A and B are shown apart, each in its own frame.
Chain A
Amino acid sequence: MEKPIFEVHQLTVNYDKTPVLFDISLSVPGGKLVGIIGPNGAGKSTFIKTALGLVKPISGKVEFFSEPLKNVRQRVAYVPQRESVDWDFPITVQDLVLMGRYGKLGLFRFPRAADYVACDHYLEVVGMLQYKERQISQLSGGQQQRVFIARALLQEADIYFMDEPFAGVDIATEKVIMDLLRKLKSQGKTVFVVHHDLNNVENYFDWVIMLNMRLIACGSVSDVFNPATLNDTYGKSFSLFDEALKISLQKSKGIKP
């Protein structure tokens, strides 16, 4: 395998004393479309949030291009879940997309003419140029998702993390996003997508990370995406582990189970 651009070493993340991710280690080569799948509550969103430094792990580390995130921030872009923001915020589509340049601009500098032109370009790529001046609450779900993606595109990064971009969008938007992902891959970029739907994994992705609190599998779709691993991911075999962990924590706190 070529040199991995994304490596995770023994990552453990807790939420209020309960583990959400436990001892995850994996590596992913560049230029892949990676699907992150697992049942609800398996820690998929938490995984990418931890990788991006939004959540602090109990232990473990994450490296991008063999370096910690803070050295290569400008090369990593994030598309959060649509529900995570208040769409009633008084900004237009253009204002939102321009945020993609704020990291590069830094403090005390405002977007320049070149940034505006680039913004228009990426708006057109996602098919939202004519909505440039609209306030964001006046968009449909699929349009909002596209605008979010345009913002990430404006960062012109090498790695993209997307949290459930296909959730609740119309068919046209789904097609736009998929075409976009393929275009990014053809340019050698790597895209990580938290995906909730098992049906399209083989169509959309060529690499997959299967999570259910622990890492079940990480590899190319042809190698690891099979009924055995799916059963391990979605089946019940880890409830015992869960239970044992809970009892152990209770005992150490001195609570009677």
Chain B
Amino acid sequence: MNSFQSPFIFFTDAVLRAPTIGCMLMCLTASLVGVIVFLRKQSLLGESLSHAAYPGVVIGVMIAGFFKLSDEDQSLIALLIMVLAFFSSLIGLWSIHWLSRKMKIKTDSALCFILSSFFGIGLTLASQVQFSYSSLYRQIQAYLYGQAATMTDVHIYIYGFFSLLIITVICSFYKEIQVMTFDRDYAKCIGVKIKPIDTLIFILIALAVVIGIRSVGVVLMSAMLIAPPVAARQFTNKLYLVFILSGIFGMISGFLGNYLSVELNTALAIKYPGDRLIIPTGPMIVMVASFICLVSLCFAPQRGWFLRIIRIGRFRYRCISENLLKAILRFCHTNELDGISFEKIEKYQSLSPFRLRYLLFRLCKNGWLEKTESGSYKLTKDGKVRAEKIIRLHRLWEVYLVNYLGIGAERVHRNAEEMEHIITPELEAELTLLLKDPKQDPHHQPIPPREIF
């Protein structure tokens, strides 16, 4: 493959800038509206709406063919298709509502049926266009998986206008959208006009979908309503930041998807000139958006899955090592020995010998244990203090459960085994105060005193 073009050309070159900016605007609107859809837990609505828009696209092309419009009337054709797709989408939306509300059909079945039926009807009509207005058939193809390459500046103006409209509406109705999505009943109570704003939101969704299908295509449109908001949510807990980040991710996906698509097509044209191969833009944009999303899900600070796994692993390691220290202390105390041999430890633990050795090695390295000349393990002073602290927390918690919550003494041990690793110093201080610094636990075992200094 030859070297890639500079990205900046994409914004200036007369042929390239329309698709580039167009894709970015479309993905921006979809990802903004997608935040609302995501928070309402209706992410699959986008899927149904985009498929329901398809017959509208076909009818739009049919009308264009009927009035003998040609490739020069790009703006008119695009507008025609958009308007009809929008109405088709709204009809689909209304049908879904009506089916789930009045005919008592479950929402998922309604979504699935409407999407497949409308799409099927659209395909039936498309097969007719294939024969009667074959030059315009390409237009329909473009809307299936998205084909940004043939967009012109006119498209930018049209889509830009609607993008601005959507952003304005979201900003104006921000607090109503926020309260309605979070707590619908409460919103109703404080007098928010639920019905009109719901309708407004649905119109926005249909509009965003219809705007986007030119670049992403009918089949994959729902991805742009899902991936950017999901990615954005992983990074922040503030709603307005979710919107902003989602928009940014959307625009990046739109740009990179288009950029990669163009580069790939150029490279393919060079390699297989006879095949006239064109990879549609939609799948590329979706791949970029999904990639961003998956990276966010795994590695976002705080919520990232991968990081969570690591944190869980670290916590488990801490629990196991603390339990080990506790066990060693108890053993040495009951048997009045200084150290404990490896074999003895192995008998009382359920860990594999390999893991056990590694664990003991790490404990020694960190200064909680030391190995004597005879090969047995001994608690260091620090190790003893730590083990005693764990025992103290365990027994304190047992006192709390028994004396305060009235739980039977025979049942508190299991719970205390978990809590001893979790109780923070602040909680410990509160417990000591509350229980008036007890000296004995419910099993009449002594509670080690608190560290003074």
* Option from B179, B186, B187, B237 in Cβ contact (under 8 Å) with A90: B237
Q: Which of A53, A77, A92 contacts B188 (CB 8 A)?
A: A53
B263 interface contact, C-beta 8 A: no
Could you give, for residues 63-82 of chain A, a 1 whenever the CB lies within 8 Å of some chain B CB and a 0 otherwise? 00000000001101110100
Query: How far apart are A138's CB and chain B's nearest CB, in angstroms?
Result: 9
Main secondary structure of the interface of A (DSSP, over half): mixed
Assembled-state Cα–Cα distance A105/B175 (Å) = 10
Question: How far, in Å, is A150 (CB) from chain B's closest CB?
Answer: 13
In the assembled complex, the Cα of A84 lies from the Cα of B185 at a distance in Å of 9
Would you call A102 and B237 a contact (CB within 8 A)?
no
With the chains together, A73 CA to B181 CA distance in Å?
A: 20
* Given contacts A73-B190, A74-B191, A107-B173, A49 and B239 within 8 Å (CB-CB): no
A27 CB within 8 Å of chain B:
no
Restricting to B179-214, which residues have a CB under 8 Å from any CB of A?
A: 179, 181-183, 185-192
CA distance A140 to B319 in the complex (A): 24
A-B pairs under 8 A by CB, number: 80
- Is B417 interfacial (CB 8 A cutoff)? no
CB atoms of B185 and A49 under 8 A apart: yes
A78 contacts B186, CB within 8 Å?
A: yes
B223-259 residues at the A interface, CB under 8 angstroms: 233, 236-239, 241-242
Instruction: Report A131-174 CB contacts with B as 1/0, cut-off 8 Å.
Output: 00001000000000000000100010000000000000000000
**8 A Cβ contacts from B156-178 to A:** 172-176, 178
Q: Which residue of B lies closest to A99 (CB)?
A: B179
Residue of A54, A135, A151 near B185 (CB, 8 A) is A54
Residue of A78, A89, A96 touching B189 (CB-CB under 8 A) = A78
Residues of B within 8 A of A151 (CB): 186
Known: A90-B239, A107-B173. A85 touches B190 (CB 8 A): no
Separation of A134 and B238 alpha carbons in the complex (Å): 10
A20 CB to nearest B CB, Å: 17
If A91-B238, A135-B237 touch, whether A102 touches B192 (CB-CB below 8 Å) is yes
The residue in chain B whose Cβ has the minimal distance to the Cβ of A74 is: B191
Contact indicator A92/B238 (Cβ below 8 Å)? yes
Q: Which residue of B lies closest to A85 (CB)?
A: B183
* B-contacting residues, A12-59, CB 8 Å: 49, 52-54
Does B39 reach chain A (CB closer than 8 Å)?
yes
Residues on the A chain within 8 Å of B179, using CB: 99, 102
How far, in Å, is A79 (CB) from chain B's closest CB? 9
Instruction: Please give, as numbers and ranges, the residues of chain A lying within 8 Å of B191 by CB-CB distance.
Output: 73-74, 103
Are B190 and A103 closer than 8 Å at their CB atoms? Answer: yes
Chain A's closest residue to B104 (CB) is A16
Bound Cα distance A108, B181 (Å): 17
B173 — which chain A residues lie within 8 A by C-beta? 107
Of A100, A102, A110, most B-chain CB atoms within 10 Å: A102
CA distance A76 to B191 in the complex (A): 10
A257 to B189: give the CA distance in the assembly, Å: 40
Complex Cα distance A96/B192, Å?
15
**Docked pose: A80 CA to B189 CA in angstroms:** 10
Contact B178 A54, beta carbon cutoff 8 Å: no
Residue of B nearest to A81 (CB): B185
Kindly state the separation between the CA atoms of A78 and B183 in the bound complex, as whole angstroms.
11
Q: Is the CB–CB distance between B186 and A80 below 8 Å?
A: yes
A7 at the interface (CB under 8 A from B): no
Contact B233 A52, beta carbon cutoff 8 Å: no
Q: Confirm or deny: A206 has a beta carbon within 8 angstroms of a beta carbon on chain B.
A: no
How many residues of A sit at the interface, in one of the four size bands?
20 to 34
Report which of B190, B233, B237 forms a contact with A92, defined as CB distance below 8 A: B237
- State in angstroms the CA–CA spacing of A84 and B188 once bound together: 14
A95 at the interface (CB under 8 A from B): yes
**Which residue of chain A has its CB nearest to the CB of B193?**
A107
Of A73, A89, A103, A135, the residue contacting B182 (CB under 8 A) is A89
Question: Is B188 touching A110 in the complex (CB atoms < 8 A)?
Answer: no
- The distance in angstroms between the C-alpha atoms of A108 and B237, with both chains bound, is 24
Q: Closest B-chain residue to A105, C-beta based?
A: B175
Kindly state the separation between the CA atoms of A53 and B176 in the bound complex, as whole angstroms: 18
- Distance in angstroms from B197 CB to nearest chain A CB is 9
B188 / chain A contacts, CB cutoff of 8 Å: 52-54
Smallest CB separation, A105 vs chain B (Å):
8
Check if B183 sits within 8 Å of A84, measured CB to CB. yes
Contact A90 B242 (CB under 8 A): yes
Interfacial chain A residues near B181, Cβ < 8 Å? 89
Kindly provide the distance from the CB of B214 to the nearest chain A CB, expressed in whole angstroms: 31
What residues on B are CB-neighbors of A91 within 8 Å? 178, 182, 237-239
Minimum Cβ distance to chain A for residue B327 (Å): 33
Which residues on A sit within 8 Å (CB–CB) of B183? 80, 84-85, 99
- Take A91-B182, A108-B172, A110-B175 as given contacts and tell me if A54 and B236 are in contact as well, using a CB distance cutoff of 8 Å: no
Inter-chain CA distance A103–B239, complex, in Å, is: 20
Q: Mark contacts of A107-141 with chain B using CB atoms, 8 A cut-off: 1 yes-contact digit, 0 otherwise.
A: 11011000000000000000000000001000000
In the bound complex, what is the Cα–Cα distance between A90 and B237 (angstroms)? 4
Cβ–Cβ contact A78 & B192, under 8 A: no
Known: A84-B183, A110-B175. Contact between A90 and B233, CB under 8 A? Answer: yes
Nearest 9 pairs of A and B residues by beta carbon: A103-B190, A135-B237, A78-B189, A103-B191, A73-B191, A90-B237, A90-B239, A89-B182, A99-B179
| Known contacts A74-B191, A90-B237, A91-B237; 8 further A-B pairs (Cβ under 8 A) | A78-B189, A85-B183, A89-B239, A90-B39, A91-B178, A99-B182, A99-B190, A102-B179
Pull 13 A–B residue pairs with CB atoms less than 8 Å apart, ordered by A: A53-B189, A54-B189, A84-B185, A85-B183, A91-B178, A91-B182, A95-B239, A99-B175, A99-B186, A100-B190, A102-B190, A103-B190, A110-B175
